């Protein structure tokens, strides 16, 4: 009898490293979903996530995590120590976007607020960060309640201001890696409509691109539109510059390397019969390899200067490289180790390999700072709508769209299952063994 009871007790508790059962996830799901609805209806703009951060902090504190708030602005760090072993970080973002929700959902956001310039703007969780937060709290609950299945230190972070590419940097500057246990590895995911809910997308190596924002101001000399000889036309110089910039990727970058140079806006002039005295171009540049990035940025400077000189501009253009993010790189050793873990947790067919994209994400700053990471995609699309959209050839609303509405239930369950499986796998063995595996792979 005693043996039977003991066996029953043992079989009820998941074995070390075991992927979470549907029952384990099911037990935390209703509360995670409630949290999702609450966060969805209370979105906050980047760097203004005070209610959001306080909500997440309170939840994690109640679960027994050691919680520190106001890390790099509104950032939250929650630590749970559970014996010797690796230190693993899981990250969620906290912020929403100035987008007016048009999903028609009963829980759609109607929030409006003031943006940093004082303008009245609508706010919506149009990037799914509310789902990431609900998943992290669900995962935190499972991990806190199953300490026999893992050992080491779990560091959960709520990162502010991802959409403005400032929050990760701010948390690092505020001592994320020095004031708290330093992670041996990091984990993050992002929901999107590129995959149906229930599936995850994995890859290894570069996942997201280096992103550089450049503003070029081309100088001319203003004149009457009827007397071009009296001026220098910056619009003509701008037009030639734009076309010449398109030869960087087609004629200078090796064909096997990836790069994008997009001129996203041209601002010049006020009236049809006035030659203006300047023109402004706004560029976004995407690359993976550091050498290609350097090459493309140098070529932009060279071409912009040369076209202004060719056009007899009174002075060289002002080239302002005002914003940049580094590429996001998935440590291949982690991707190789964790793909089968996800396959056994979610089913082999639910883990698909996805190609790298030219989007950008400031999680890359944590990797830059020395936290090798596993960043994966979470399917968010309603599986039926996904199939219909594919058949019709019309893409579903992307992240940042006012119509972006992930199929929350299966996506949230999948996120919690995947996160717990990955964390339990990484929180095994010794920190040294993990560091060695990651170090040898570099
Ligand atoms: Zn976003
Ligand atoms: Zn996002």
E strand spans, 220-338: 223-224, 259-268, 274-275, 278-287, 318-325, 328-330
**How many CA atoms, within 13 angstroms, populate the side-chain half-sphere of residue 227?**
6
3-state secondary structure (DSSP) of residue 434: helix
**What spacing in Å lies between the alpha carbon of 169 and ligand 1's midpoint?**
16
**What spacing in Å lies between the alpha carbon of 402 and ligand 2's midpoint?**
14
Distance CA 44, CA 130 (A): 10
**What spacing in Å lies between the alpha carbon of 253 and ligand 2's midpoint?**
29
The pLDDT mean for the chain works out to: 94
Q: Which two tokens stand for residue 395?
A: 């893409």
Residue with tokens 């929050």: 167
Of 169, 218, 235, 188, give the one whose Cα is nearest residue 369: 169
**What spacing in Å lies between the alpha carbon of 79 and ligand 1's midpoint?**
26
Which residues are bridge partners to 163 per DSSP? Answer: none
Handedness of CA 335, 336, 341, 347 (dihedral sign): positive
Are residues 19 and 420 in contact, defined by beta-carbon separation less than 8 angstroms? yes
pLDDT of residue 17: 59
3-state secondary structure (DSSP) of residue 67: strand
Are residues 132 and 189 in contact, defined by beta-carbon separation less than 8 angstroms? yes
**What spacing in Å lies between the alpha carbon of 220 and ligand 1's midpoint?**
37
**What spacing in Å lies between the alpha carbon of 205 and ligand 2's midpoint?**
20
**What spacing in Å lies between the alpha carbon of 189 and ligand 2's midpoint?**
9
Confidence of residue 441 (pLDDT cuts 50, 70, 90): low
Are residues 140 and 110 in contact, defined by beta-carbon separation less than 8 angstroms? no
Burial degree of 11 (CB within 10 A; 0-12, 13-18, 19+): exposed
3-state secondary structure (DSSP) of residue 188: strand
Distance CA 307, CA 117 (A): 35
pLDDT of residue 225: 97
**What spacing in Å lies between the alpha carbon of 68 and ligand 1's midpoint?**
25
pLDDT tens across 264-311, in order? 999 999 999 999 999 999 999 999 999 999 999 999 999 999 999 999
Confidence of residue 10 (pLDDT cuts 50, 70, 90): very low
**What spacing in Å lies between the alpha carbon of 128 and ligand 1's midpoint?**
8
- Looking at the predicted structure, is the pLDDT value of residue 4 above 70? no
pLDDT tens across 391-419, in order? 999 999 999 999 999 999 999 999 999 99
Distance CA 227, CA 225 (A): 6
pLDDT of residue 81: 98
**What spacing in Å lies between the alpha carbon of 190 and ligand 2's midpoint?**
7
pLDDT of residue 18: 75
Ligand lying nearest the CA atom of residue 98: 1
**What spacing in Å lies between the alpha carbon of 240 and ligand 2's midpoint?**
36
**What spacing in Å lies between the alpha carbon of 400 and ligand 2's midpoint?**
8
- Looking at the predicted structure, is the pLDDT value of residue 233 above 90? yes
Give the number of residues written for the chain. Answer: 442
**What spacing in Å lies between the alpha carbon of 189 and ligand 1's midpoint?**
12
pLDDT of residue 1: 45
**What spacing in Å lies between the alpha carbon of 399 and ligand 1's midpoint?**
6
DSSP result, 111-172:
-EEE-TTS-EEE-B-TTSHHHHHHHHHHHHHHHHT-GGG--EEEEEEEE--TTTT-HHHHHH
**What spacing in Å lies between the alpha carbon of 290 and ligand 1's midpoint?**
24
Confidence of residue 439 (pLDDT cuts 50, 70, 90): confident
Distance CA 317, CA 103 (A): 44
**What spacing in Å lies between the alpha carbon of 55 and ligand 1's midpoint?**
21
Distance CA 364, CA 210 (A): 9
Q: What is the DSSP letter of 420?
A: H
Q: What is the mean pLDDT of residues 98-115?
A: 97
pLDDT tens across 131-177, in order? 999 999 999 999 999 999 999 999 999 999 999 999 999 999 999 99
3-state secondary structure (DSSP) of residue 398: coil
Are residues 373 and 331 in contact, defined by beta-carbon separation less than 8 angstroms? yes
pLDDT of residue 346: 97
17: left (phi over 0), alpha (psi -120 to 50) or beta: left
| Residue 40 phi, psi dihedral angles, 5° rounding | -60, -35
Of 69, 123, 90, give the one whose Cα is nearest residue 420: 90
Of 67, 47, 64, 36, give the one whose Cα is nearest residue 136: 36
The residue ranking higher by pLDDT, 14 or 362, is 362
Distance CA 191, CA 9 (A): 36
Confidence of residue 35 (pLDDT cuts 50, 70, 90): very high
% of the chain beyond a pLDDT of 70? 95
pTM of the model: 0.88
Confidence of residue 15 (pLDDT cuts 50, 70, 90): low
pLDDT tens across 300-353, in order? 999 999 999 999 999 999 999 998 899 999 999 999 999 999 999 999 999 999
Q: Each residue of 369-400: b (16+ CB within 10 Å) or e?
A: bebbbbbbbbbbbbeeebeebeeeeeebbebe
**What spacing in Å lies between the alpha carbon of 436 and ligand 1's midpoint?**
34
**What spacing in Å lies between the alpha carbon of 211 and ligand 1's midpoint?**
14
**What spacing in Å lies between the alpha carbon of 245 and ligand 2's midpoint?**
29
**What spacing in Å lies between the alpha carbon of 161 and ligand 2's midpoint?**
10
Ligand lying nearest the CA atom of residue 192: 2
**What spacing in Å lies between the alpha carbon of 91 and ligand 1's midpoint?**
15
Ligand lying nearest the CA atom of residue 130: 2
Helix axis angle for 408-426 and 332-346, nearest 10°, is: 120
pLDDT of residue 173: 98
Q: Which two tokens stand for residue 234?
A: 């910056």
**What spacing in Å lies between the alpha carbon of 229 and ligand 2's midpoint?**
50
**What spacing in Å lies between the alpha carbon of 408 and ligand 1's midpoint?**
17
Of 408, 352, 400, 134, give the one whose Cα is nearest residue 142: 134
């Amino acid at each position: 009898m005693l043996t039977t009871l003991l066996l029953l007790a043992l079989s009820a508790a998941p074995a070390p490293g075991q992927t979470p059962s549907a029952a384990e996830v099911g037990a935390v799901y209703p509360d995670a979903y409630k949290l999702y609805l609450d966060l969805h209806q209370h979105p906050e703009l980047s760097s203004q996530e005070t209610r959001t951060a306080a909500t997440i902090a309170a939840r994690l504190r109640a679960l027994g995590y050691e919680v520190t708030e106001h890390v790099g602005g509104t950032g939250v760090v929650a630590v749970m120590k559970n014996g010797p072993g690796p230190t693993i970080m899981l990250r969620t973002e906290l912020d929403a976007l100035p987008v007016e929700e048009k999903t028609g959902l009963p829980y759609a956001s109607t929030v409006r607020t003031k943006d940093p310039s004082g303008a009245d703007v609508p706010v919506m969780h149009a990037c799914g960060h509310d789902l990431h937060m609900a998943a992290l709290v669900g995962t935190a609950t499972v991990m806190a309640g199953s300490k026999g299945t893992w050992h080491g230190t779990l560091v959960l972070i709520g990162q502010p201001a991802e959409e403005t590419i400032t929050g990760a940097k701010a948390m690092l500057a505020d001592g994320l890696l020095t004031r708290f246990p330093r992670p041996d590895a990091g984990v993050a995911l992002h929901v999107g409509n590129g995959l149906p809910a229930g599936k995850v997308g994995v890859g290894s190596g570069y996942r997201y691109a280096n992103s550089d924002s450049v503003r070029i101001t081309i100088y001319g000399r203003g004149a009457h539109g009827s007397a071009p000889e009296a001026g220098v036309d910056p619009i003509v110089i701008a037009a030639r510059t734009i076309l010449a910039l398109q030869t960087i990727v087609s004629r200078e970058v090796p064909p096997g390397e990836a790069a994008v140079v997009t001129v996203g806006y041209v601002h010049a002039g006020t009236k049809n019969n006035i030659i203006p005295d300047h023109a402004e171009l706004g560029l976004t540049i995407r690359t993976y390899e550091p050498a290609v990035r350097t090459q493309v940025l140098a070529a932009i400077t060279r071409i912009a200067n040369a076209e202004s000189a060719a056009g007899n501009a009174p002075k060289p253009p002002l080239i302002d490289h005002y914003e940049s993010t580094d590429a996001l790189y998935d440590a291949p050793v982690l991707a190789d180790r964790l793909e089968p873990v996800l396959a056994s947790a979610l089913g082999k067919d639910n883990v698909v390999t996805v190609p790298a994209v030219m989007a950008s994400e400031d999680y890359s700053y944590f990797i830059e700072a020395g936290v090798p990471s596993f960043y994966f995609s979470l399917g968010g699309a309603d599986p039926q709508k996904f199939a219909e959209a594919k058949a019709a050839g019309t893409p579903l609303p992307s992240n940042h769209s006012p119509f972006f509405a992930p199929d929350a239930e299966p996506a949230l369950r999948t996120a919690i299952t995947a996160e717990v499986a990955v964390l339990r796998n990484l929180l095994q063995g010794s920190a040294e063994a993990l560091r060695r595996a990651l170090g040898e792979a570099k």
